[in-house]
Amino acid sequence: MARKAIVIDWEEVNKALRCMVDGPEIAAKLGISDDTLYRACKREHKMLWQNYAAKVYASTRQMLREQQINRAVGYKRKVSKPFNTAKGIVFKDVIEYVEPSDAMLKWLGIQYLNQKDKADVTLDIPNFTIVNDSDEDEIDDEEELNDE
C-alpha cells in the first residue's frame, strides 16, 4: 500500500520565503522533512528548491527596494477612513500623502550612489613633515645638532 501523499500549502511556503525564511525552517513549520519539501518543489514546480527560493527572494528584494524608494521620495496611498454622517459611520477611501524621509534618502545614497556620511579630507603636501611640540623632541633635536 502506497503512502499518503503529503499536501504542501505553497501559499504558506511563499509567505515564509517572502520573510526570507530558509528551507529547513519552512519544512519544520510544515511538519515535514527538508527533503520532502525539496522533492515536492521539483515535482510540483518543475524546478530545484534553490531556484524556486531564489526567485521568491529576488521578488522580495525588489519589493523592498521599491518601498524604500517610495519612503525616501514620498508617496500617495489610499486609505479607508471613517466619517460620521446622518446615516451613521461611513467609510470612504481617501488619498493620503506620506512625507519623504531624509534618513531613507541619505541611507539609499550611501548604499547605491557611493555617497558618504562624512567627507574624507586628506591633504597631501610634498616634502612636508609634521613636527611634534613636546619637550622630549626638542632635547633629542638639540642632541642631534650637538653631535654633528
Rama region for 35: left / alpha / beta (φ>0; ψ in -120 to 50; rest): alpha
Q: Where are the domains of the chain?
A: 10-70, 72-112
Report DSSP letters for 22-73, one per residue.
Answer: -HHHHHHHHTS-HHHHHHHHHHHHSS-HHHHHHHHHHHHHHHHHHHHHHHHH
Distance CA 11, CA 7 (A): 12
pTM to 2 decimals?
0.59
Distance CA 102, CA 74 (A): 10
pLDDT at 133 over 90: no
User: What is the model's pLDDT at position 5?
Assistant: 81
Pick the more confident residue, 52 or 2: 52
Once rounded to an integer, what is the mean pLDDT over residues 59-66? Answer: 92
Pick the more confident residue, 135 or 127: 127
Query: What is the length of the chain?
Result: 148
User: What is the model's pLDDT at position 142?
Assistant: 60
User: What is the model's pLDDT at position 92?
Assistant: 92
Nine cell digits for residue 109? 545614497
pLDDT at 79 over 70: yes
